[in-house]
Amino acid sequence: MLKMHNINKVFRTEVVETHALRDFSLHVAEGEFVTVTGPSGCGKTTFLNIAGLLETASSGQYLLDGEDVSALNDFQRAKMRNQKIGFIFQSFNLMPDLNLFDNVDVPLRYRGVKAAERKDRIERALDAVGLLSRKKHLPAQLSGGQQQRVAIARALVGEPRFLLADEPTGNLDSNTAEGVMELLHSINSQGTTIIMVTHDAVLASRSARNIQILDGRIIDDRRAHQKAA
Amino acid sequence: MEFGPILRALLRNKLGVMLIALQIAFTMTVTVNAVYIIDQRSERMARPSGLDEANIFHLSSVGYGNNFNESVASTEDLALIKAIPGVVDVTVMNAIPVSGSGSSTGVGIEPDRPETSVQTAMYTSDENVLNALGLNLVSGRAFSTNDVRRGGRDMERSHSVAILTTALAERIYPGEGMQAVGRTIHSPGGRTMEIIGLVERLQTPWPESSFIEQSMLIPEVVDDGSTLYIVRTVPGERDRIMTEVEELLAAQGHERILRNNRAFEETRENSYRLDSVMATILYVVIGTLMFITAMGIVGLAVFSINRRRKQIGTRRALGATRPDILRYFLLENLLISGSGVVLGAVLTLAFNMFLVQTFDMPRIDWFYAPVGMLLLIILGQLASLAPAAKASGIAPALATRSV
Ligand SMILES: Nc1ncnc2c1ncn2[C@@H]1O[C@H](COP(=O)(O)OP(=O)(O)OP(=O)(O)O)[C@@H](O)[C@H]1O
Ligand SMILES: [Mg+2]
């Protein structure tokens, strides 16, 4: 599913050069649920952005779904994000001016799906996160946990093979976070590959695979043999 | 693409959008009506005077000494001018068409019935007037030497012949103006005139007058101390001959001064100066308004894009291409401008109705409003192009990087 080989990412500003990732190599197989942990500034978001085609690596090779993405241009990368990848963000990133229905609609619009099919899919996605009855509401009328569930519905509506989440529970209290995690696990159990960055050691310990990053390098890659309860 | 969501999102930020839409509507109203006024004015300015405008100039001779004999001097002057190679003809006249000053009278089919009379400019001149002005005689005959009466201010003038413009004849004899030759008309003070000819066109001295095409020529040369010469030259010789005539006349040593030696075109231009100044002012107003509106559109677009940087990054992350983002903001502007110009069309027509009623102007042509709408929509799209292009350059990583 995801193959990174010797990925380097260097941010250059006028004063400093930051090596956000150094010789970063990783394989993630289809259907895995991988958590990524590490101290602030170690490169977690950078890894996720490169994995999700939001940024390009400075060097190294990245195969997504068997395709070498380093050769893709901006337009092709956008299309690939739209079709293969779902994103979940720490601060939900919903469009405040759009109601839930229109929010979930965003990725489908860019895919050019027909209106009737869009409606069908959006309602199923909202139903899956338990918010169909609120489809006309604005994000601001929802709690944080509900907003994140809308964001998950938006990430799932295009049925991506690959879900990337950057601290999806970072802005939620532990009970709400629990609900979101359950949702993610059930999505994973239906076959979607998930990579999730988190600060929460407990959440990380419960995933089947946890990667620890320090200073742009993987320092630990632990696989649990069975999910903790 | 996504009209519905863009519209719904816009409706949640009404104030800024409404202000810009209003500004667009206002700009369109002012622009369309100003252009309409300019068009009306230019149409007026473009009306032909009936003269061979490019090849005519005029010159006045005003006597001052006791020994000045106007009729002797003018006979001499006319002969001298006419002898200059390149001069087509020369005449004396009481007033210059379209110059702003002259005399007018009323004429009618019945004597002393002012309520039935029609207003007309009254030009007095000699037998050379048609050729010297380049007028087009369409019926009857020109003045003959015998027709021309000469004398002082108090000479007998109760009966004479006259040449009318077809417009004047048509006003006096509605529907049968072209058959006016041979008929007699009357003007106040018991004066009667027999119509001997019709000219196609000869405008009055007053460009603002409501009867600008109604003029009458009387064969009469009055000695009143000053003589106005109108000279017509062959094409291209006017300016040279103007200088030559003035020098030649000055050398005659009569006790008079020569003044107002000017091309007819210049005189005409002076008369319409206010119109052209007004047109310039209106163009400046239009330009300024357009500029301010364009800046307003740019300002709103930049503001709303900066406010939504993270949203744009998120859209990019979710699969929007750069063209998608560009299109989004152009479409957003299209909706704003679209509502602006629809309101603008209503305001434009309302304002025009006000102009029509207040200033007695003809109603605006149907195509002005649609052209104005199109113009402002193009303006809006152009103004939002740069901000939209900038928005499309926002990195998808902003979705995760910014707070
Ligand atoms: N656009 C950028 N320009 C320069 N440096 C950057 C940029 N983005 C990230 N960095 C640097 O790269 C390093 C890795 O950043 P990254 O965001 O991946 O860390 P992180 O592990 O996600 O941290 P956190 O847990 O605080 O989110 C940091 O030192 C950061 O300052
Ligand atoms: Mg981070």
Smallest-distance ligand from the CA of A37: 1
DSSP codes of every residue in B333-358: HHHHHHHHHHHHHHHHHHHHHHHHHH
Res B403: pLDDT: 62
User: For residue range A154-182, what is the model confidence (pLDDT) as tens digits?
Assistant: 999 999 999 999 999 888 888 888 888 99
- Measure in Å the smallest separation between the Cα of B13 and chain A Cα atoms: 8
Q: How many residues appear in chain B?
A: 403
Confidence of residue B27 (pLDDT cuts 50, 70, 90): very high
Token digits of residue A9: 């990412």
Least confident range from A71-80, A179-188, B7-16, B344-353: namely B7-16
Residue B120 forms beta bridges with which residues? B105
Smallest-distance ligand from the CA of A47: 1
Main-chain phi, psi angles of A79, to 5 degrees: -65, -40
| Residue closest by Cα to atom 31 of ligand 1 | A41
Res A10: pLDDT: 95
The answer to whether residue B44 scores a pLDDT higher than 90 is no
Model's pTM, two decimal places? 0.80
Confidence of residue B12 (pLDDT cuts 50, 70, 90): confident
Number of domains in chain A: 1
Q: How many residues appear in chain A?
A: 229
Burial (CB count <10 Å: 0-12, 13-18, 19+), residue B299 = middle
Residues of A with CB under 8 A from a CB of B: 45, 48-49, 52-55, 74-75, 78-79, 81-83, 87, 89-91, 93, 95-99, 102, 105-107, 109-111, 154, 158, 166
Token digits of residue B290: 């357009």
Are A15 and A63 within 8 A, CB to CB? no
The CB density around residue B75, as the number of other CB atoms within 10 Å, is 14
| Residue closest by Cα to atom 18 of ligand 1 | A43
In A, minimum Cα distance to B325 occurs at: A110
Buried-exposed string A173-190: b where 16+ CB fall within 10 A, e elsewhere: eeebbebbbebbeebbee
Smallest-distance ligand from the CA of A165: 2
For residue B26, the CA-to-ligand 2 centroid distance in Å is 49
Are A196 and A35 within 8 A, CB to CB? yes
Least confident range from A30-44, A203-217, B149-163, B364-378: namely B149-163
Q: What's the mean per-residue pLDDT of chain A? A: 92
| Residue closest by Cα to atom 20 of ligand 1 | A41
The answer to whether residue A228 scores a pLDDT higher than 60 is no
Mean pLDDT within A68-92 = 94
Res B43: pLDDT: 86
Scanning the structure block, which residue is given the tokens 């957003």? B332
Token digits of residue B133: 């002005």
For residue A21, the CA-to-ligand 1 centroid distance in Å is 10
User: For residue range B223-233, what is the model confidence (pLDDT) as tens digits?
Assistant: 888 899 999 99
Mean pLDDT within A71-85 = 94
Confidence of residue B318 (pLDDT cuts 50, 70, 90): very high
Least confident range from A108-117, A185-194, A200-209, B293-302: namely A200-209
Confidence of residue A229 (pLDDT cuts 50, 70, 90): very low
Residues of B with CB below 8 A from A99's CB? 8
Please state, in angstroms and rounded to a whole number, the distance separating the CA atoms of residues A99 and A83. 23
Which residue of B12, B324, B397 is in closest CB contact with A54? B397
The CB density around residue B281, as the number of other CB atoms within 10 Å, is 12
Which residue of A48, A75, A166 is in closest CB contact with B321? A75
Least confident range from A102-111, B34-43, B84-93, B141-150: namely B34-43
Mean pLDDT within A139-165 = 93
For residue A171, the CA-to-ligand 2 centroid distance in Å is 13
CATH number of residue A59's parent domain: 3.40.50.300
| Residue closest by Cα to atom 22 of ligand 1 | A45
Burial (CB count <10 Å: 0-12, 13-18, 19+), residue A56 = middle
Beta strands, E only, B223-339: 226-233, 256-263
- Inter-chain touch A89–B314, beta carbons under 8 Å: yes
Burial (CB count <10 Å: 0-12, 13-18, 19+), residue B403 = exposed
Mean pLDDT within B322-328 = 95
Please state, in angstroms and rounded to a whole number, the distance separating the CA atoms of residues B18 and B343. 11
For residue A104, the CA-to-ligand 2 centroid distance in Å is 24
Atom of ligand 1 nearest to the CA of A47: 18
Percent of chain B predicted with pLDDT > 90? 71
Print the domain residue range for A207: 2-228
For residue A168, the CA-to-ligand 1 centroid distance in Å is 17
- Measure in Å the smallest separation between the Cα of B342 and chain A Cα atoms: 25
DSSP codes of every residue in B105-130: EEEBSSTT-GGG-EEEEEEEE-TTHH
**Dihedral sign for Cα atoms in the order B387, B390, B396, B400:** negative
Confidence of residue B139 (pLDDT cuts 50, 70, 90): very high
- Inter-chain touch A45–B324, beta carbons under 8 Å: no
- Inter-chain touch B403–A91, beta carbons under 8 Å: yes
Please state, in angstroms and rounded to a whole number, the distance separating the CA atoms of residues B178 and B155. 32
Residues within 6 Å of ligand 1 by CB: A 11, 13, 18, 20, 38, 40-46
Mean pLDDT within B348-372 = 89
Instruction: Sort strands B149-151 and B215-222 into parallel, antiparallel or unpaired.
Output: parallel
Mean pLDDT within B195-203 = 96
Residues of B with CB below 8 A from A48's CB? 400
User: For residue range B238-257, what is the model confidence (pLDDT) as tens digits?
Assistant: 999 999 999 998 998 888 89
- Inter-chain touch A83–B319, beta carbons under 8 Å: yes
Give the three-state DSSP class for B14.
helix
Residue B72 makes CB contacts below 8 A (sequence gap 6+) with none
Our mutation pick for probing the ligand 1 site, out of A8, A10, A11, A40, counting the most ligand atoms within 8 A of Cβ, is A11
Are A147 and A139 within 8 A, CB to CB? yes
Res A225: pLDDT: 64
Residue A24 forms beta bridges with which residues? A7
Please state, in angstroms and rounded to a whole number, the distance separating the CA atoms of residues A88 and B120. 86
Confidence of residue A226 (pLDDT cuts 50, 70, 90): low
Please state, in angstroms and rounded to a whole number, the distance separating the CA atoms of residues B73 and B79. 10
Mean pLDDT within B172-188 = 92
SS (H, E, C) A13-25: CCCCEEEEEEEEE
The answer to whether residue A103 scores a pLDDT higher than 70 is yes
Residues of B with CB below 8 A from A164's CB? none
For residue A40, the CA-to-ligand 1 centroid distance in Å is 8
- Inter-chain touch B4–A79, beta carbons under 8 Å: no
Instruction: Give the residue, A207 or A138, on which the prediction is more confident.
Output: A138
The answer to whether residue A227 scores a pLDDT higher than 50 is no
Q: What's the mean per-residue pLDDT of chain B? A: 91
Atom of ligand 1 nearest to the CA of A39: 25
Percent of chain A predicted with pLDDT > 70? 98
Buried-exposed string B50-71: b where 16+ CB fall within 10 A, e elsewhere: bbbbebbbbbbbebeeeeeebe
Beta strands, E only, B223-269: 226-233, 256-263
Residues of A with CB below 8 A from B304's CB? none
Are A168 and A185 within 8 A, CB to CB? no
